[in-house]
């Protein structure tokens, strides 16, 4: 059976097994020795200056990259603020450490800048589970619906959308559209879509994609862990399954979860998102105890380690090579970019009204 059902009559269009298999051959960046790390960091610092480049990294990337971004005047954040920072920073080259849609979003917003990524192979299961060839005809079948897509999509999918959103503003935007009487076609994350549907009451038709990492958080095991730690606050990224979200004290984007650790009176947290985020959480609240939410368990699958294999492809070695050789440049077809710009710019402008 074709993993992507080409006939839109057979919605949900993507098979779950196909999505679960997407990251099976992903290889993480190599671990470097302490001495090699020192050499690479000095080299990268020099190359960033020489090339008028700034490093923008996601919270899920390796600690070394987050540290380096901050030490060199770059930025570490969630996907919305990465886009905003890249758009406002004067550097002529943005080096985006994250996954492909983040590099593409940077290019969509900044066509005049050179956008480099440590690797162009870092994908995202949400993006891959929503190919434009299937998604565009699906939207055409539903002309009465406003098309809202998550940032974790390709430039071509963004080009078909009316709006792009990230997890930090998805519910606010859908509430706004719902109050205007609009019906929504939402893609690609079924869990985030279902969560937003619950909190806004909007009429939403949901694409059935999911994140292979967050899909692994297990609600039954989480209940047991909560009983063991009744004093812990539960923090959940909304890409997680409904039954996991239902147990959360705080549901939010990566930045919202970090803020929760910093601002909450709790001293202990169970965290259901990629464990790369622990680096920043420890930085903002050094004394607090962080516990990983339970997943399928070690050995269950390569997704069940609470860490995104594609994010792990970014490393110091490939950052140095990329800057040195000027390789891994992100390009987006200009017609597609101009269309995608409208929906991404709308998101940025809407975020400024909040």
User: Residues in the site for ligand 13P, rule: CB under 6 A?
Assistant: 78-80, 152, 166-167, 211, 239, 253-254
CA distance linking residue 15 with residue 13, whole number of Å: 7
Q: How far apart are CA 342 and CA 163, in angstroms?
A: 8
Binding to ligand SF4 by CB under 6 A, coded x per residue (else -) over 93-132, reads ------x------------------------xxx------
Choice between 22 and 185, CB closer to ligand SF4: 22
Instruction: Name the token pair of 49.
Output: 């200056």
Residue 166 binding partner per list ligand 13P, ligand SF4, none, with a CB distance cut-off of 5 to 8 Å that depends on partner kind: ligand 13P
Q: Which listed option, ligand SF4, ligand 13P, none, makes contact with residue 212 (CB within 5 to 8 Å by class)? A: ligand SF4
Name which of ligand 13P, ligand SF4, none residue 196 binds, using a CB cut-off of 5 to 8 Å depending on partner kind: none
* Identified binder of ligand SF4 from the candidate list 239, 253, 285, 312, rule CB under 6 A: 239
Token pair belonging to 28? 């993480």
How would you label 134-171 residue by residue, b for 16+ Cβ within 10 Å and e otherwise? Answer: bbbebbeeeeebbbbbbbbbbbbbbbbbbbbbbbbbbb
Residues in 295-314 at the binding interface with ligand SF4, rule: CB under 6 A = 308, 310-311
Distance CA 242, CA 247 (A): 9
26 lies in the binding site for ligand SF4 (CB under 6 A): no
Q: What residue 254 binds from ligand 13P, ligand SF4, none (CB within 5 to 8 A, per partner kind)?
A: ligand 13P
Minimum Å gap between C-beta 308 and ligand SF4 is: 3
Handedness of CA 151, 333, 24, 136 (dihedral sign): positive
Dihedral angle, C-alpha 331, 336, 337, 339, nearest 10 °: -170
Spatial CA neighbour of 278 closest among 24, 35, 29, 60: 60
Choosing among ligand SF4, ligand 13P, none, which partner's interface includes residue 225 (Cβ < 5 to 8 Å by kind)? none
**Contacting residue, 148, 156, 157, 212, with ligand SF4 by CB under 6 A:** 212
Residue 213 CA to residue 225 CA, distance in Å, equals 19
List residues near ligand SF4 by CB under 6 A.
99, 124-126, 152, 211-213, 239, 274, 308, 310-311
């Amino acid at each position: 059976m074709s993993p992507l059902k080409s006939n839109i009559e057979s919605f949900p269009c993507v098979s779950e097994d196909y999505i679960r298999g997407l990251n099976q051959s992903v290889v993480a960046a190599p671990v470097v020795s302490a001495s090699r790390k020192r050499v690479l960091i000095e080299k990268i610092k020099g190359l960033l200056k020489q090339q008028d480049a700034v490093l923008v990294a996601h919270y899920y990337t390796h600690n070394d990259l987050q540290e380096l971004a901050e030490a060199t005047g770059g930025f570490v954040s969630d996907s919305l603020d990465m886009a905003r920072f890249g758009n406002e920073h004067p550097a002529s080259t943005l080096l985006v450490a994250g996954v492909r849609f983040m590099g593409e979003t940077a290019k969509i917003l900044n066509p005049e800048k050179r956008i480099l990524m440590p690797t162009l192979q870092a994908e995202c299961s949400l993006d891959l589970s929503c190919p434009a060839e299937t998604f565009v005809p699906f939207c055409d079948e539903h002309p009465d619906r406003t098309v809202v897509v998550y940032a974790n999509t390709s430039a071509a999918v963004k080009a078909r959308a009316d709006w792009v959103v990230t997890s930090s503003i998805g519910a606010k935007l859908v509430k706004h559209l719902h109050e205007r009487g609009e019906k929504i076609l939402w893609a690609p994350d079924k869990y985030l879509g279902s969560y937003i549907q619950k909190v806004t009451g909007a009429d939403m038709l949901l694409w059935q994609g999911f994140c292979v990492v967050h899909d692994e958080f297990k609600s039954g095991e989480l209940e047991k862990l909560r009983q063991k730690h009744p004093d812990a606050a539960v923090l959940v990224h909304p890409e997680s399954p409904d039954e996991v979200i239902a147990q959360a004290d705080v549901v939010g984007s990566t930045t919202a979860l970090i803020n929760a650790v910093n601002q909450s009176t709790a001293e202990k947290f169970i965290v259901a998102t990629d464990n790369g985020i622990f680096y920043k959480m420890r930085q903002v609240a050094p004394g607090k105890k962080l516990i990983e939410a339970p997943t399928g368990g070690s050995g269950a699958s390569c997704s069940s380690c609470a860490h995104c294999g594609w994010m792990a492809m970014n490393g110091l070695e490939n950052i140095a090579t990329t800057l040195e050789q000027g390789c891994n440049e992100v390009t987006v077809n200009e017609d597609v970019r101009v269309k995608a710009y409208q929906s991404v710019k709308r998101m940025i402008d809407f975020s400024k009204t909040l």
